[in-house]
Structure 1
Amino acid sequence: MDFKPLAQFIDRMTAWRIPWAEVLVIHRNRPVFRYRSGYLDLEAGTPIEEGKMINLYSMTKVMTCVAALRLVEQGLILLNDPLGEYLPEYAEMNVQKRLPGGEVALERAQRPITVRDLFAMTAGFSYDTASPSLQEAVQRTNGQVPTRAFAEALAKEPLLFEPGTRWNYSLCHDVLGALVEAVDGRRFGAYIRDEITGPLGMRDTVFDLSEEQRSRLAPQYEYNDALGQAVRKDGNGYRLGTAFESGGAGLLSTVSDYSLFLNALTNRGTSPDGVRILAPATVDLMRTDVLTGRMREDFSWEQLKGYGYGLGVRTHISKAESGALSPLGEFGWAGAAGCLAVVDPNEQVTVMYAQHLLNSQEPYVHPRLKNLVYACL
């Protein structure tokens, strides 16, 4: 193994426009490469160091889907169940229909939203956190927006399409978190702590920071093209309220901590210490492509050519289309500030990559990073 090219790539990214970057590569449960470069605080010139807390944003989705899949394993829910059986506000939904003249009308949905639709991003939701019903919930709850209140509010918004007919990146996994609450009875964050992070020994993966963790929160930046530099932009715009435990984008963590969770998935659901969070068959189901027909046309991001979509994760289905060096079945996801998860049960490879830059340059960085990891191995 020679990881010098990967280190050089990280250095090149931090010399370009990304303030700092860090990567951890685990092979067969052994860390084989860890490297960080750049400045935690550009203004102060502080180098990035171990243990910094970052917003995971959409990499939260992987853990949310694992949390809900545990309920599938326990027979508490089925993927084909109508969502309205657990969240009654979703029993009858309206769908936007565009009429021949161009105007938009609302019609009653012909299909129910299923639990599978939440996992697969096929429910018909948008990612509009500024929608009237959600903003009304912010006002009504005095800025708290508990997770169940969020789901109740979103149900008032019309769907963009008939459930199960198209794919659209959306608030599905935030509703999935509310589903976990409704079925299990605990708050979503408590369920995550009791069932996943606690057993795995993860102390730094949370929805709400302690004072000590807050002291380790990395500054967040956004690259300003007009100024030609990254500028400070802290906060999580997806967190609608102080009590909202967003299953789609709410977790914070560190490279070391989240890699424990990812590596358990690489081991098909069980940590090296023997803590099982999912059965091997469930992990294989999670990384099975569920896209059909029009859905595949919707899943068209350039950096995910050759990938399908499973239960909350990208999944590698065509090396010819992707041009990627990772094997088929490699899966994972990414986050809005640029973090990336690579989970590869076949070759026993786990990668946790972190940065904290909105407008993250994901289409450029992530495919190259993955190829470099496999070339260096």
Structure 2
Amino acid sequence: MDFKPLSGLIDRLTSWRIPWAEVVVVHRNETVFRYRSGYVDLEEKIPIDDGRILNIYSMTKILTCTAALRLVEQGKMLLNDPLSAYLPEFAEMTVRKTLPDGGVEIDRAKRAIRVRDLFAMTAGFSYDIGSPSLREAVERTQGKVPTREFAKALAKEPLLFEPGTRWAYSLCHDVLGALVEAVDGRKFGDYVREEITGPLGMNDTGFDLTDEQRGRLAPQYEYDDVLGKPVRKDVNGFRLGSEFESGGAGLLSTVSDYVRFLNTLTNRGTSPDGVRILSPASVDLMRTDHLTEAMRADYGWEQLAGYGYGLGVRTHVSKAASGSLSPLGEFGWSGAAGCLAIIDPESQLTVMYAQHMLNNQEPYVHPRVRNTVYGCL
């Protein structure tokens, strides 16, 4: 293995638009390459160092779906169950429909939201975190918005389409966190800590930080195309309230912590030291393509050409379409500030790429990182 091309790519990215970047490559449970470059604090010219905590945003989704799949394994719920069996507020949903003349009408939904629709992004929700019902919940709870209150508020909003008929990237996995609370009885964050992050030794991963951890939180940037440079933007705009544990975008973690979780999935659910968080059957179900042909047209991001969508993850289904050097069945997801997870059971390969910049240049960065990793093996 020669990883000089990968370190060269990281250096090019950090001399371009990305303030800092780090990549870890784990092969057969051994870290075979780790490299970081750039400044964690551009203003103070502080180089990126070990132990920095960052917002992983939508890479939270992989862990949320893992948490919920554990409950499926235990027979506490089924993918085909109606969501309303556990969250009654979703029993009678409405759908916003556009009329031929351009007008809009709200009709009662003909199909029930199923548990599987939360995993697969087919429930019909949007990603509008500023919708009227959610704004009202922020005011009513005095800025707290507990996870279950979030779900109750979202249930008041009309769906974009009949559940199970189309695909839309949305707040599905935030509702999935609320579903875990309803089925298990613990707060979502407590469940995650006691069932997944704690057993795996991920002590720097959670929805809230201690004072010590807050001191290690990496500054966050957003690339400003007008100014032609990154500017500080430290807020996580997806955290609607102080008690909202967002299953879609709320986790904070370190590279060392999260690659441990990802590598457990590469091992089909059991960590190298024997901690089992999922069965191999569940991992295979997670990375099975769940898109129908009707849904595939909705799943059109350029960096995901050749990929289907499983239970909370992209999954590689066509080398011809993707141009990716990874094998079929490689899976993972990414985050709003630019993190990328590559989980590959066949190659026994785990990769975590990290950066902390919104407007993250994902269509350019992520396919190049993936192909360069596989080119180095």
Question: Normalised by the size of structure 1, how large is the TM-score?
Answer: 1.00
Q: How does 1:50-65 map to 2 (within 5 A)?
A: 50-65=50-65
The percent identity for this pair of structures is: 76
Structure 1 residue aligned with 2:5: 5
Does residue 122 (structure 1) correspond to residue 122 (structure 2)? The answer is yes
Confirm or deny that 1:154 pairs with 2:154. yes
Q: CA deviation at 1:102?
A: 1.4
Post-superposition CA distance 1:134-190 (Å, at most 9, x none): 000000000000000000000000000000000000000000000000000000000
Q: How far apart in 2 are the matches of 1:369 and 1:247?
A: 26
Aligned AA for 1:287? R
| 1:264 matched to 2:286 | no
Q: CA deviation at 1:344?
A: 0.3
Aligned counterpart, 1:316: 316
Give the letter for the 1:284 counterpart: D
- Off by >4 Å, runs of 4+ in structure 1: none
Please list every run of 5 or more consecutive structure 1 residues that lacks an aligned counterpart in the other structure: none
1:188 aligns with 2:206: no
Q: Residues of 1 paired with 2:248 and 2:148: CA distance? A: 14
How far apart are the structure 2 equivalents of 1:267 and 1:182?
29
Aligned to 2:107, what secondary structure does the other structure show? strand
Partner residue, 1:366: 366
Let me know the Cα RMSD of the aligned residues: 0.4
Deviations 1:197-242 (A, max 9, x none): 0011110111000001000000000111221211100010000000
* SS of 1:153 mapped into structure 2: helix
| Match in the other structure for 2:102 | 102
Any unmatched runs of 5+ in structure 2? none
Q: State the partner residue of 1:354.
A: 354
TM-superposition CA deviations, 1:60-101 (whole Å, max 9, x none) = 000000000000000000000000000000011000111222
Aligned mates of 2:341, 2:213 — CA distance in 1 = 22
Where does 1:39-58 land on structure 2 (aligned, <5 Å)?
39-58=39-58
**Distance across 1 between alignment mates of 2:328 and 2:48:** 34
Q: Which residue of 1 aligns with 2:28?
A: 28
Q: Distance between the aligned counterparts of 1:61 and 1:166, measured in 2?
A: 19
Q: Aligned pair count?
A: 377
Amino acid at match of 1:195: E
Letter in 2 for 1:5: P
Secondary structure at the counterpart of residue 16 of structure 1: coil
- Which sits farther off after the overlay, 292-301 or 151-160? 292-301
Kindly provide the CA deviation profile for residues 279-332 of structure 1, in whole angstroms up to 9, marking residues without a partner as x: 000000000000002210000100000000000000000001000000000000
Q: 1:328 maps to what in 2?
A: 328
Cα deviation digits, residues 27-59 of structure 1 (max 9, x gap): 000000000000010000000000100000000
1:237 is matched with: 237
Normalized against structure 2, the TM-score is what? Answer: 1.00
Q: What is the alpha-carbon distance in structure 2 between the residues aligned to residue 159 and residue 114 of structure 1?
A: 14
How far, CA to CA, are the matches of 2:225 and 2:78 in structure 1?
A: 47
Correspondence 1:133 to 2:130: no
Q: Which residue number corresponds to residue 303 of structure 1?
A: 303
Q: Give the Cα separation in 2 of the matches to 1:101 and 1:227.
A: 41
Q: CA separation in 2, counterparts of 1:363 and 1:100? A: 35
The SS at the match of 2:15 is helix
